[in-house]
Structure 1
Amino acid sequence: MAESSTEGEGLYGSSQSPSRQRDRVTSGDVPVAVYGLGKMGLPLAAVYAETMGNVTGVDVDPAVVETVSDGESHVVGEPGLDDLVAEQVDAGRLTATTDGSAAADAARIHVIIVPTLLDDDNEPNLATVESVADDIAAGLAPGDLVIAESTLPPGTCRDVLRPHLASESGLEPDEFGLAFCPERTSSGTALRDIRGQYPKVVGGVDDESTRAAAIVYDELSDNEVHPVSDATTAESVKVFEGLYRDVNIGLANELGRLADELEISVREAIDTANDLPMCQLHDPGPGVGGHCIPYYPHFLLGRTDEPMAVTETARRVNDEMPAVVVDRLERELAATGTDLADASVIVLGVTYRPGVEETRASPALGIIDGLRERGADIAGVDPLVDPADYGARAVGIDEIADEGFDAAVIVTPHADFDRIDWPALEPMVVLDGRDAVDLSETPHREYDLGGSSDGRPPRGSPDSAGETGSAEPTERAAAADGEPAAHRTDGGNDV
């Protein structure tokens, strides 16, 4: 059986009073290890350090550990995170290491926040989570509490993590606690969200695990803690949140593709429909990106006996959107007498969301691939990543005017793109996937994917192709926080 070098009683099964346990949690008497220092893990570790005062962050990347140990943040676009990391490291409340087993041996609370990705066959791959569990098991002691914040297929804590931790540690399953407490955090607002923007869901594999985890998050979050029946329910809450958004976006994308045929702005219709509180349609877009929404449906699809036709259809519709963008661009170019195979096209935005240095499942990748397959000469511009790494010749924002492109595709409307002087550019076809710009007073042929939201008429049928500055189905870059009505998620954003 593993033994911890840490003195003091753990939270799980503690005989101390709740008030004493809370005092110990906030005084640094209960050491914490946070496994995973990525774009969600580092903010979480920093807030844990701010609240509990004795935190070790663990990451397999030595460069990440070195950066954090120097009091710096490697995560881009998180307001306040640089200062918080510097403050906590300088105060000795936050340290970092690549040695997960050593961190586990010193900790009494173990927090897992590493990604669950998919295999080539779209099956959830738990290898990273299980590797972290191995490290934790090496130092797991009676009374320790393990908290999973990583999004997991429902049943993982009960059927995978608990028996795995018990087997590898030599402890009985009832000697340590295990709870699922999903992160409900968006890139760009991580600190705000962790500190209590939303209620914190807590579900343990047993009642004592739920109780112990609730004590921790009562201190960490300013919002209410919402205990649920068990860990599987908590896991389902997080997956269901993602599925709701994917299905809603799939419906919005399906409706957006009707704009030409109906000769309306679907975006205007959606905005107006959402005047009713019972209607919360999201916005259409060029696809769904990020490490969350495109993945979570597969945590259930093919893993349940019950068919999930709605979820499966929405995933297919959203996966098809990059190809729809390429098809519409080809049609618009043809209307000007230009073959896509002979066209030079610039893709604006490679990351999946404005201001976020993340390209996983970004719609831009499928659009670039589709353009390449049809023979287009592709350039790309993005202030956060190098488009050349994704198959597009890199062009600077201020160099666009010097090149003279046949077409532009707005995929991700970074704030830096506000510098583009559209009226000064050579006339081109502009496919706006986000309803991001109004080019009606410019020489460009504009096509909005889904119809603009500002009252500009959609292009209508392809026969009306001679007009300039008309709009069609588009997508708006919204806050991507999943909130209803005015704060809806759009078809290309994710947390």
Structure 2
Amino acid sequence: MDGSVALYGSSRAEDRQRELLTSGRVPVAVYGLGKMGLPLAAVYAETTGNVTGVDVDPEVVETVDDGHCHVVGEPGLDDLVADQVAAGRLEATTDGPAAAERARIHVVIVPTLLDDRRDPDLSTVEAVTDDVAAGLDPGDLVIAESTLPPGTCRDVLRPHLASESGLGPDEFGVAFCPERTSSGTALRDVRGHYPKVVGGVDDESTRAATVVYDALSSNDVHPVSDATTAEAVKVFEGVYRDVNIGLANELARLADELGISVREAIETANDLPMCQLHDPGPGVGGHCIPYYPYFLLSTMDEPMRLTRTARAVNDEMPAVVVDRLADALAAVDDDVSDASVLVLGLTYRPGVEETRASPALDVVAELSERGADVAGVDPLVDPSEYGARPVALEEIGEESFDAAVVVTPHEEFDRIEWGALESMVVVDARDALDLSGTDHRVYTLAGSTDGRPPSDGSDADGLDRISSTPSPDPAGARRTDGGDDV
């Protein structure tokens, strides 16, 4: 810590504090070098010039120390990591206490998952906190970017740090600064695509964290009243999206009964700025939205019936997709228990190598439970690891399938020559395909895209015989709000 300075409790002018921060005089440790942690550490390195990344995985540490990037699908991250390591501005270690000993700013960005009872599991965050406490000094600032149940910084992290370090709770700072980062655009987002929210357990923590993120981000920094408010901001953002998607999915299930394209109705309703319905889809996946509602549901006395209902609606969507497929097969005198079904896309988002909570996994499991022969194709992951027989994209035409289900519309699927495939039932859970001119029987989860009732030419069983037109906004077929995390 020779020559280093602290920001928390500093009497220096804030301009001087920013100057010290960006000159490398304020060493930073970033705990967690995953798909969000490594981009954050790299941007901290390019901003401050003095960052140690900490991870429990020796292979990750070795990869980063060699100037390489283990996180895929993040434009510019490979080069940024290589440049920062080569310049001596970024290094990595598995030794958390040693990194904490030399750092004055400690940034925690490790996952908060759920246990078997769907209660928040803080064990990983607490383990990192133990490492931080081992090297915590007066004037240090601890920043949590991990999403946490509201009240965690105040009621868990700060007391734990004080107890384990032997410092008084007013001798160091603790702030919460929620990551607002999407897979595939991490560097853009960390550098300032969205305003940065900061909230501390005391006013000085908020002030010091504001100095840090004012240097790190090109966007506005939005200080809020306290750390609990900042924690709530992040959780509320996820709950809003989950509830909105649940509403969209509930409306989508009216498509057959109404004989309309619910997706067309949603898109048209959204012409009004006060209406912002999300896209319906086959479920909600990723490491955020399916988890964050439980950060409130498991800790609050309020019953939160709306949030619980939305979670239940979204959880059951994979089964709804399989129900629709079973109905579609029955309409052509096939049974799902005897069908060979190809599931397209197993990751939770197109182009993202992540399957956590992906609705495709539940679709595969539900099909298998009903006796179907399930094959899968995905350009990023091996379907055999998730219960589906793997089929290469270029080999789809060599097999005969009774049905296909589009769950995650990777761009690579645009190369599929549907017209050359044997006729089958296709359930397009994302409204991502234009199969006009083919012989396939297509069912779109939210109804046909031309919005015509069954009596106007499409099948009364909800199968549109390829007379539909593409979505008015082709890019909309891959929007991420239809059940996908950011």
Whether these two folds match at TM > 0.5 is yes
Runs of 4+ in structure 1 off by over 3 angstroms are: 5-8, 456-467, 474-479
- Partners of 1:266 and 1:448 lie apart in 2 by 10
- After TM superposition, give the deviation of residue 117 of structure 1 in Å: 0.1
Give TM-score, length-normalised by structure 2: 0.96
Aligned to 1:30: 26
Counterpart position of 1:172: 168
Identity, % of aligned positions: 75
Provide the secondary structure at the position in 1 that maps to 2:222.
strand
1:66, CA displacement in angstroms? Answer: 1.0
Aligned position for 1:150 = 146
One-letter amino acid of the structure 1 residue matched with residue 176 of structure 2 = F
Tell me, yes or no, if the aligned pair for 1:250 and 1:318 is still in contact at 8 Å. Answer: yes
Distance 1:442 1:185, change over 3 A: same
Aligned to 1:345: 341
Given residue 469 of structure 1, which amino acid in structure 2 is its aligned partner? I
Provide the rounded CA distance (Å) in 1 between the counterparts of 2:464 and 2:110.
Answer: 50
User: What's the CA shift string for 1:360-408, capped at 9, x where partnerless?
Assistant: 0000011001000100000001111100000000100011000111100
Match of 1:494 in 2: 485
Q: What do you get for the CA RMSD once the two structures are aligned?
A: 1.7
- Separation of aligned partners in 2, 1:117 and 1:466: 39
5+ residue gaps, structure 2: none
Structure 1 residue 463 displacement after superposition: 3.8
Aligned residue in 1 for 2:353: 357
| 1:445 and 2:441 are equivalent in the alignment | yes
Is contact 1:285–1:449 with CA below 8 Å preserved after alignment? yes
Paired AA for residue 398 in structure 1? E
Match of residue 328, structure 1, among 297, 318, 324: 324
Partner amino acid, structure 1, of 2:56: V
**In structure 2, distance between residues paired with 1:466 and 1:412:** 20
- 1:102 to 2:98 alignment: yes
The answer to whether the aligner puts 1:213 opposite 2:209 as a matched pair is yes
- 1:240 matched to 2:232? The reply is no
Letter of the structure 2 residue corresponding to residue 343 of structure 1: A
2:113 to 88, 113, 117: 117
Would you say the 8 A contact 1:31–1:107 is kept in 2?
Answer: yes
Aligned with 1:300: secondary structure? Answer: helix
Residue 337 of structure 1, CA deviation: 1.1
Equivalent position of 1:20 in the other structure: 16
Q: Which residue of 2 aligns with 1:483?
A: none
Instruction: Tell me the equivalent position of 1:75.
Output: 71
Q: Which amino acid aligns with 1:207?
A: D
Distance 1:241 1:209 in 2: 23
Relative to structure 1, is the Cα distance of residues 372 and 275 closer, same or farther in structure 2, using a 3 angstrom cutoff? same
For residue 173 of structure 1, give the secondary structure of its aligned residue in structure 2: coil
In the alignment, which residue of structure 2 is the partner of 1:185? 181
- Tell whether 2:478 aligns with 1:469: no
* Match 1:306 to one of 297, 302, 307: 302
Q: Please, which runs of 5 or more residues in structure 1 have no aligned partner?
A: 481-488
What is the rounded CA distance, in whole Å, between the counterparts of 1:291 and 1:426 in structure 2?
A: 37
- What is the CA distance between 1:221 and its match in structure 2? 0.2
**Cα pair distance change 1:418/1:162, threshold 3 Å:** same
**Equivalent in the alignment of 2:281:** 285
CA distance in 1 between counterparts of 2:283 and 2:96 reads: 37
Tell me, yes or no, if structure 1 residue 47 matches structure 2 residue 34. no
Alpha-carbon separation, structure 1, partners of 2:351 and 2:345:
10
CA distance in 2, matches of 1:143, 1:133: 16
Aligned residues: 480
Asked if the contact 1:46–1:94 (Cα under 8 Å) also holds between the matched residues in 2, the reply is: yes
CA contact (8 A) 2:5 2:25 kept: no
Task: Indicate which of 396, 405, 410 corresponds to 2:406.
Answer: 410
Q: Distance in 1 between matches of 2:136 and 2:95?
A: 15
Q: Is the 8 A contact 1:447 1:471 kept in 2?
A: no
For residues 323 and 137 of structure 1, what CA distance do their matches in structure 2 show? 46
Q: Secondary structure at the match of 1:352?
A: coil
TM-score of the aligned structures, taking structure 1 as reference length = 0.95
Shift of 1:465: 6.1
Partner SS, residue 316 of structure 2? helix
Q: Distance in 2 between matches of 1:459 and 1:115?
A: 47
Distance 1:99 1:183, change over 3 A: same
Report deviation, 1:457. 3.7
